[in-house]
Amino acid sequence: DTAVSQTPKYLVTQMGNDKSIKCEQNLGHDTMYWYKQDSKKFLKIMFSYNNKELIINETVPNRFSPKSPDKAHLNLHINSLELGDSAVYFCASSQSPGAGELFFGEGSRLTVL
């Protein structure tokens, strides 16, 4: 069983559209994250949730709205997609917000045309 799974793995869409990426973890962890890796390969944290509560929001445009229906799921919804949103988005989880051992998903590659 995959510990942290993301869907879809690939997403190609037009500018201006709205899209969502889903993430689920079966590790029983309390904390989940979204990271963005751009074309230059820099990995940047976007959000962190602990037990469904937002604890880190890294000055991400408000077109990005994370939602955590329960502690095993953290979804990322993006409105009005722009070319610069093209990237690989990684979901991750950890046992607690203070833990430094994160388990990452395989990534979702978003291409905005």
Partner 1 sequence: DAKTTQPPSMDCAEGRAANLPCNHSTISGNEYVYWYRQIHSQGPQYIIHGLKNNETNEMASLIITEDRKSSTLILPHATLRDTAVYYCIVRVGSGNTGKLIFGQGTTLQVKP
Rounded to the nearest whole angstrom, what is the least distance from the CB of residue 29 to partner 1 in the complex?
13
In the complex with partner 1, which residue's Cβ is closer, 48 or 75?
48
Local structure of 66: helix, strand or coil: strand
Vertex 111 angle, CA 31 and 75, to 5°: 25
**Up-side HSE of residue 57: CA atoms within 13 Å toward CB?**
13
Rounded to the nearest whole angstrom, what is the least distance from the CB of residue 16 to partner 1 in the complex?
28
Binding residues for partner 1 (CB under 8 A):
4, 35, 41-45, 48, 50, 55-56, 90, 92, 97-98, 100-107
Contact 86, 4 (CB under 8 A): no
Rounded to the nearest whole angstrom, what is the least distance from the CB of residue 63 to partner 1 in the complex?
22
